[in-house]
Amino acid sequence: MNLFVPASIVAVCSYALLSTVYKTAQVLYTLPANVPPTSGEPAGCEPWPSVDVIIPCYNEAPRTLSDCLASIASQDYAGELKVYVVDDGSGNRDALIGVHEEYERDPRFNFIALPKNVGKRKAQIAAVRRSCGDLVLNVDSDTILAPDVITRLALKMQDQAIGAAMGQLAASNRNETWLTRLIDMEYWLACNEERAAQARFGAVMCCCGPCAMYRRTALVSLLDQYETQRFRGKPSDFGEDRHLTILMLKAGFRTEYVPEAVAATVVPNSIGPYLRQQLRWARSTFRDTLLGLQLLRGLNIYITLDVIGQNLGPLLLSLSLLAGLAQFVTTGTVPWTACLTIAVMTFIRCSVAAFRSRQLRFLGFSLHTLINIFLLLPLKAYALCTLSNSDWLSRGSAANVSNTGGAIPKHNLVRPDATYSEQQ
């Protein structure tokens, strides 16, 4: 008997067992807990905390930035609100003058123009050090917030044990292409399954960059570590949201998810930019998973299962696919056990998501399984083999910016995918 046949069966059965246990626990922990609802007002006679909104931008399209700022200006927050827009050495500043002038008349808005490009993380820190609000909300420059986002996040932050909280993400350009539709569903699942289950234990492992609120006292105490992150002796510049979240957890703070605080952000609309984004995310995830392993003993056992499921699961799936491919090459027989197991698991997961979201479109998320198998798994393997690489996968040059007439085409600037908002 060919050894690859039992190897394929063992690998896919191990993957199926781990995934079933992990996903079942995840769905169970996303069910509503028996906890009192959050009040619509601060506890007691406490005033609303002051909030600083920080928006770093780099070569953002004027219309996109204007839409973002408009959503901030229209927040129904009852407390003091200040907004810091940090231009990180953009090459299209002339095109943004109109946007700046429109909001400079609003006393809540402050514009900081850095003399040269220093990176998203340092741009955020520049604004943090110039502001003084009780809470800090990081927002990407292509993200549009629902009017009650700041209120909902601030209410969650009433608990002094919470260091950070994120809102629910959606794709603002969801209807643009088949890929943006898939990414929108991917965001829903990442927020309402993964983050929602982690939040049951106050340990959201990544408060995503497009919309995340931090307690200033906690944030300031971590700024030096946040600014100087290194990996194998080299500066580590991307994945800043995941790294800051891990630092919060290491400092003993809880990190939370607020599904009612909805933020819509622009996502890649074609495969090339999407894969470059996923490569950066994979590298940052692997780097900070190593850092996060130190936390597991102090967290609920589910978080350990979550880390195992997210990291060992893809490995077992890869092994089952490789064993199945070897079986096909050496014996000419199709590894039906692996194929049927993956197909059934995909159908069950998409059906559960469709039921929970009350949206039949999630049945179409099965297409993501093919993308995962043929594109994302090889990409994650490559990311693991190139962890020390902090390359932003640049295409083009800043000189291209001046020829765009102000309508900055995404995915064609110095940094991949054009703007910081797509470099999470």
Cite the DSSP H helix spans in 130-206.
149-156, 178-189, 196-199
Query: How does DSSP assign 203-264, residue by residue?
Result: B-S---TTEEEEEHHHHHHHHHHHHT-EETTEE--S-HHHHHHHHHHHTT-EEEEEEEEEEE
Residue 32's Cβ-count burial label (10 Å; 0-12, 13-18, 19+) is exposed
For 207, half-sphere exposure in the C-beta direction (CA atoms, 13 angstrom radius) is 31
Distance CA 211, CA 209 (A): 6
> E strand or H helix at 314, and its extent?
helix 301-331
Residues 6+ apart with CB under 8 A from 242: 205, 206, 284, 285, 288
Cβ–Cβ under 8 Å, residues 283 and 232: no
List of E strands, 27-104 = 51-57, 81-88
Bridge partner list, 137 = 53, 213
Query: What's the residue count for the chain?
Result: 424
* 3-class state of residue 353 by DSSP: helix
Q: How far apart are CA 304 and CA 310, in angstroms?
A: 10
**Residue-level pLDDT at 138:** 98
CA dihedral 354, 307, 168, 225 (to 10 degrees): -170
Domain boundaries, the chain: 4-28+302-385, 49-301
3-state class (DSSP) for residue 58: coil
Specify whether the CB–CB gap between 98 and 105 falls below 8 A.
Answer: no
Rounded Cα gap, residues 326 and 243, in angstroms: 38
Q: 3-class SS at 406? A: coil
Question: Which of 274, 191, 284 shows the shortest CA–CA distance to 236?
Answer: 284
Average pLDDT, consecutive stretches of 10 residues, N- to C-terminus, the chain (424 residues) = 78 94 96 65 82 97 97 97 97 95 95 95 96 97 98 97 98 97 98 97 96 98 94 84 96 97 98 96 90 90 96 93 90 91 96 96 97 96 88 42 34 44 48
CB atoms within 10 A of CB 405: 8
Long-range contacts of 129-132 (CB under 8 A, 24+ apart): 129/223, 130/84, 131/52, 131/54, 131/82, 131/84, 132/50, 132/52, 132/216
Give, in words, the CATH class of 49-301: alpha beta
